[in-house]
């Protein structure tokens, strides 16, 4: 008798079908449990084995990064496409396996058979003034066992170059910025510069990597920060702790990139890094001063207990209300799915989604009744608003110019900030479309923002949190030395 016939027979009342059906159901449940109990451990072992294999393959197949050179700068194989031999002017690098070679610094490519005809030492190529020759530096490794990072131990000027023009470039990279773009940028710069010139802030602090600058004040250098607005703010904090100011440029990898827009380095970097274009722009860049501000968070005592006060540095802006609410919601969602997918497009999509949602919800309605604004000791009356922003640069919200010059002209080095407000999320959308402007409220050098009974969303340079009742103080901190694109006039 088949299983189907047995089940159908169990339904007949004439031979105790109900009892037999119950037994079959119980036996089936036990069989199912036994199957899972038997198979769970083999499946678990197989899963662990597959994950281990994947991790090993990732390490084996990951592109090798040249870390240190002594006398020979040659790298065998993996030549760029359409490489041409510098001796015979024929195509090279197209054979099977690791054939032919290139110089790790000047990118000179040559056939293996032509290698003996190359005379002289590497001149570091056209961008020699940005590169630290391996013969001029000794390095040491710092960091954890799994995340070692090379840093400068001792350094000297090259003897065969113009010392006045040699200003090595150091790149500070956040690999998590821009999805995979940050990691790609890190790899690219490590192939073109000495590894000590490329700092991965996920593995080592900027202050530790650049500590040698205090010991060798005669060495002038330039800095590029590759990341979003939050990365730039953190890196500038570390650079400000050094004994001398360094000129800093920006390679935008974030979502808003408002500081990069201000300095003329673009709204966002896409695709591969054009190292030669970056070096050309760095040579012609101008230096300007950029105000930096101290943000002190003083919490209100609740139930006899006061939370620990906090201090931040502000470069772009601090805001409370609707735009901070959207940023906080976006970050919470993004962090929960970062392991699956992360990209600049996803961030913009999340901003649009939560911004549209707030148009209907008005989560920060009547914000003017929850806060008190004091600028330079004067209490500023507030209209009916849902968002308030303290602005240090001309751009806000991924390219919007919200400030209306009702006071003195806006500048990034005047030791003053601007305060403006927005009425709603829909008002922000109108500003991004260019059909509306912010509500200019005040301009000053000290600010006190009192938050009453409600917990409000607050953000500082793109990093958002929920702020309980308390007081926010903003005062001038110092001025950073920034590099501006030659075609841009900073307001």
Q: Tens digits of per-residue pLDDT, 59-96? A: 554 433 333 333 345 677 778 777 888 888 888 888 77
CA 467 from chain centre, in angstroms, equals 24
- Alpha-carbon distances, residue 332 vs 317, 325, 355, 388 (angstroms): 20, 11, 14, 21
Sort strands 222-227 and 198-200 into parallel, antiparallel or unpaired.
unpaired
- The model carries a pTM of 0.73
In this prediction, residue 102 has a pLDDT band, given cuts at 50, 70 and 90, of confident
CA distance 152 to 141: 9
Tokens of 409: 């002209």
The answer to whether 187 and 65 are in contact (CB under 8 A) is: yes
Residue 250: which of 238, 271, 267, 274 has the closest Cα? 267
Of the ranges 6-10, 56-60, 67-71, 450-454, which one carries the lowest mean pLDDT score? 67-71
Residue 167: which of 282, 277, 311 has the closest Cα? 282
Q: Is the pLDDT of residue 467 over 70?
A: yes
Tokens of 237: 């904090």
Q: Is the pLDDT of residue 460 over 70?
A: yes
Residues 6 or more apart whose Cβ sits within 8 Å of residue 53? none
- Alpha-carbon distances, residue 361 vs 325, 333, 356 (angstroms): 12, 18, 9
CA distance 255 to 262: 15
Instruction: Report the SS3 class of residue 283.
Output: helix
Question: What pLDDT is stored for residue 35 in this prediction?
Answer: 57
CA distance 388 to 390: 7
Residues 6 or more apart whose Cβ sits within 8 Å of residue 195? 65, 66, 67, 68, 139, 150
Residues 6 or more apart whose Cβ sits within 8 Å of residue 81? 93
Higher pLDDT, 21 or 185: 185
Q: Where are the domains of the chain?
A: 1-33, 62-122, 128-284, 293-476
Dihedral angle sign, alpha carbons of residues 389, 390, 394, 398: negative
**Of 2.60.200.40, 3.90.1200.10, 1.10.540.10, 1.10.1040.10, which CATH number belongs to 293-476?**
2.60.200.40
Radius of gyration of the chain (CA): 30
Tokens of 447: 């600010």
Sort strands 439-444 and 417-422 into parallel, antiparallel or unpaired.
antiparallel
For 292-310, letters b (16+ CB in 10 Å) and e give bbebebebeeeeeeeeeee
Dihedral angle sign, alpha carbons of residues 260, 265, 271, 276: negative
Of the ranges 343-347, 406-410, 465-469, which one carries the lowest mean pLDDT score? 343-347
Residue for token pair 């020759």: 133
Give mean pLDDT, residues 346-364: 59
CATH architecture assigned to 62-122: 2-Layer Sandwich (3.30)
Sort strands 446-451 and 439-444 into parallel, antiparallel or unpaired.
unpaired
Name the CATH topology of 128-284: Rossmann fold (3.40.50)
Question: What pLDDT is stored for residue 159 in this prediction?
Answer: 76
Higher pLDDT, 105 or 99: 99
Question: What pLDDT is stored for residue 213 in this prediction?
Answer: 86
CB atoms within 10 A of CB 377: 8
Q: Percentage of the chain with pLDDT > 70?
A: 75
The answer to whether 253 and 446 are in contact (CB under 8 A) is: no
pLDDT per position as a tens digit, 104-156: 777 788 888 887 777 666 777 778 888 888 888 888 887 777 777 778 888 88
Instruction: Report the SS3 class of residue 187.
Output: helix
In this prediction, residue 297 has a pLDDT band, given cuts at 50, 70 and 90, of very high
- Alpha-carbon distances, residue 402 vs 181, 291, 323, 366 (angstroms): 29, 19, 13, 21
Length of the chain (residues): 491
pLDDT per position as a tens digit, 270-290: 667 788 888 899 999 999 999
């Amino acid at each position: 008798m088949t299983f189907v016939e047995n089940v159908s027979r169990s339904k007949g009342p004439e031979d105790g079908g109900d009892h037999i059906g119950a037994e079959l159901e119980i036996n089936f449940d036990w069989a199912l449990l036994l199957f899972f109990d038997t198979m769970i451990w083999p499946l678990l072992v197989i899963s662990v084995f597959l994950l281990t294999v994947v991790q090993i393959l990732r390490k084996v197949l990951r592109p090798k990064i040249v870390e240190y050179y002594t006398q020979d700068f040659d790298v065998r194989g993996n030549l760029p496409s359409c490489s041409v031999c510098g001796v015979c002017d024929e195509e090279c690098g197209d054979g099977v396996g690791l054939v032919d070679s290139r110089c790790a610094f000047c990118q000179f490519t040559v056939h293996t058979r032509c290698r003996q005809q190359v005379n002289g030492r590497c001149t570091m190529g056209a961008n020699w003034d940005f590169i630290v020759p391996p013969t001029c530096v000794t390095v040491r490794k710092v960091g954890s066992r799994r995340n070692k990072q090379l840093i400068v131990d001792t350094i000297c000027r090259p003897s065969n170059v113009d010392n006045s023009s040699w200003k090595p470039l150091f790149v500070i990279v956040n690999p998590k910025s821009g999805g995979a773009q940050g990691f790609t940028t890190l790899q690219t710069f490590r192939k073109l510069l000495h590894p000590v010139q490329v700092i991965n802030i996920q593995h080592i602090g900027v202050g530790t990597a650049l500590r040698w600058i205090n010991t060798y004040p005669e060495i002038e250098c330039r800095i590029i920060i590759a990341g979003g607005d939050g990365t730039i703010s953190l890196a500038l904090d570390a650079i400000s702790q050094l004994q001398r100011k360094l000129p800093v440029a920006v390679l935008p990898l974030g979502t808003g990139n408002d500081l990069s827009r201000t300095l003329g380095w673009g709204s966002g970097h896409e695709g591969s890094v054009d190292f030669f274009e970056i070096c050309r722009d760095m040579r012609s860049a101008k230096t300007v001063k950029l105000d930096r501000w101290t943000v002190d968070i003083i919490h209100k005592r609740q139930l006899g207990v006061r939370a620990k006060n906090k201090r931040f540095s502000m470069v772009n802006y601090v805001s409370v209300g609707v735009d901070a609410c959207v940023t906080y919601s976006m970050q919470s969602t993004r962090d929960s799915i970062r392991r699956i997918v992360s990209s600049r497009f996803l961030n913009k999509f999340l901003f649009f989604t939560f911004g549209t949602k707030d148009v209907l919800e008005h989560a920060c309605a009547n914000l003017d009744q929850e806060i008190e604004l004091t600028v330079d000791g004067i209490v500023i009356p507030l209209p009916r608003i849902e968002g308030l922003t303290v602005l240090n640069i001309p751009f806000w919200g991924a390219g919007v110019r919200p400030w209306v010059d009702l006071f003195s002209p806006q500048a990034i080095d005047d030791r003053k900030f601007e305060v403006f407000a927005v009425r709603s999320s829909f008002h922000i959308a109108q500003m991004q479309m260019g059909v509306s402007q912010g509500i200019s409220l005040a301009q000053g050098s000290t600010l006190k923002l009192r938050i009453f009974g409600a917990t409000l969303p607050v953000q500082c340079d793109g990093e958002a949190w929920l702020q309980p009742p308390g007081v926010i103080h903003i005062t001038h901190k110092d001025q950073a030395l920034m590099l501006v694109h030659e075609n841009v006039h900073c307001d």
